Amino acid sequence: MLRFEENISLKPFNTFGVEAFTKFFYEVTDLEKLKLLFKSAPELPIRILGGGSNILFTKNFDGLTLLMATKGIKVLEEKNNKVRVEVQAGENWHEFVLWCLKQNYGGVENLALIPGSVGAAPLQNIGAYGVELSTVFYSCKVINLHTLEEEILDKKACEFDYRSSLFKTHQKGKYLICAVTFELQKKPHQPVLSYAGLKSRFENKNPTIQQVAEAVIEIRQSKLPDPKLLGNGGSFFKNPVVKESVYKALKLKFTKLPCYPSGKGQVKIPAAWLIDYLGYKGRQFGQAGVHQNQALVLVNLGEAKGSEILKLAENIQKEVKSYFGITLEMEVNIL
């Protein structure tokens, strides 16, 4: 019989640092034990937690919270310039990036310093500075929570999209991600420098992946708050994707409105610009606030409740909608 810890505070397990309690708590270090657990408590509502960096707890949970803490990085196969690496779900994302840099395996250097765990990364298809997880993703090992069987899902099956996958959409709650296999470059060349901040820095240069990672870390540290010092969940909203015609109409009124191409006659508008324009940047609302260097990041100024941060997010959504006619979709999972 597996023993659960009871009435545990989840404050140390979410980067917003908000208080919320779970009735039962179990740290998963062994998948066989995990399967036993599912069989012994089939009725118990469960919630799976990785690094806790993309969630906002707004209430207590009357079920079992599983903290994925399985570890291990293994090279599966090397062929030509490709190397396949399997990483257990509980590995820290940035630690994995550092491991790749040490081996000189290319592909994830632009994703340095993203908070969270490897197992959670496919859920929202983490992305930054011109690269998304889907670029380097090969497959993942999951437990189907309906059958308790292990399955392998390839890239196509995961239906990756901008900050989205099947784990977040129509198959939400069906799978538990146990391990992720990446396909990386053994002799990296041509790092992705499409993001303006990287392009200007490395103009006419051919940087190593280590230099790219260093630059990414520097850029992130200058804009994004360290969750250890100031509670936050990264970008709170997705950047809205609109038809070009909608953008052109808005641009007549808001002449400085930026945009990025997003394929098929669509453009992506930086949500940060919209929120910034409305004067939210750096403002405080009780214990919740909007970060002073990045308007897309909501922060916990100390003892904020999850509901307080959610209220601020909803107010921003309402104001953006009434001012620009644009719907902002939350990127952070509200629990």
Would residue 331 show up in a list of annotated catalytic residues for this protein? Answer: yes
Would residue 235 show up in a list of annotated catalytic residues for this protein? Answer: yes
Smallest separation, CB 215 to ligand EPU (Å): 12
Smallest separation, CB 180 to ligand EPU (Å): 18
Set 91, 109, 132, 331: catalytic member? 331
Would residue 164 show up in a list of annotated catalytic residues for this protein? Answer: no
Residue 86 or 115 with smaller CB distance to ligand EPU: 115
Residue 214 or 276 with smaller CB distance to ligand EPU: 276
| Residue 264 three-state SS | coil
Cα–chain-centroid distance for residue 159?
Answer: 16
CB 301 within 8 A of CB 284: yes
Token pair belonging to 59: 């209430």
Set 163, 165, 183, 220: catalytic member? 163
Residue 70 or 262 with smaller CB distance to ligand EPU: 262
Residue 177 or 296 with smaller CB distance to ligand EPU: 296
Smallest separation, CB 63 to ligand EPU (Å): 27
Residue 162 to residues 131, 261, 331, Cα–Cα distance (Å): 11, 13, 10
Residue 106 or 227 with smaller CB distance to ligand EPU: 227
| Virtual torsion, Cα 39, 20, 17, 89, nearest 10 deg | 10
Smallest separation, CB 183 to ligand EPU (Å): 22
Token pair belonging to 209: 């992946």
Smallest separation, CB 67 to ligand EPU (Å): 21
Q: Which residues contact 26 (CB under 8 A, 6 or more apart)?
A: 2, 4, 5, 37, 64, 65, 66, 67
Set 117, 165, 235, 262: catalytic member? 235
Sign of CA dihedral 116, 118, 121, 123: negative
327 C-beta neighbours (distance < 10 Å), count: 11
The residues binding ligand EPU (CB under 6 A) are 128-129, 163, 195, 223-224, 234-235, 238-239, 258, 270, 272-273, 276, 281, 294-296, 331
CB closest to ligand EPU, residue no: 234
Q: Are strands 260-261 and 137-144 parallel, antiparallel or unpaired?
A: unpaired
Positions annotated as catalytic residues are: 163, 235, 331
